[in-house]
Amino acid sequence: MSRKYIDCRDYPGSTCSVKISADTEAELLEATIEHAVKAHGHQDTPELRAQLAAMFKDDTGNADTRLAA
């Protein structure tokens, strides 16, 4: 499964360095909206959700390297 991510540095005019990733787009969207509202003062609107979701990228970095329990 490919993780998705969004990086605040990709948002026009942002000076924030936060990068958020998740296994699903739904989980990533909720975390991204929470960050946008709390850290940047945005309103949670359908337009903001669509704009942010359009900025999601596939994480093509290393495979999941978590240790097996």
Decide: pTM greater than 0.85: no
In the prediction, which pLDDT does 39 show? 94
Supply the range of the domain harboring residue 37. Answer: 4-58
User: How many domains does one find in the chain?
Assistant: 1
Q: Which amino acid is at 64?
A: D
Which parts of the chain have pLDDT scores under 50? Answer: 65-69
The answer as to whether 65 is a domain residue is: no
Question: What per-residue confidence (pLDDT) applies to 9?
Answer: 92
Give the pairing type, strands 4-7 and 19-22.
Answer: antiparallel
In a domain, 63, yes or no: no
Question: Quick check: is 32 in a domain?
Answer: yes
Write out the E strands in the chain: 4-7, 19-22, 57-58
pLDDT at 60: 83
Residue 22 lies in a domain: yes
In a domain, 33, yes or no: yes
**Which amino acid is present at 49?**
R
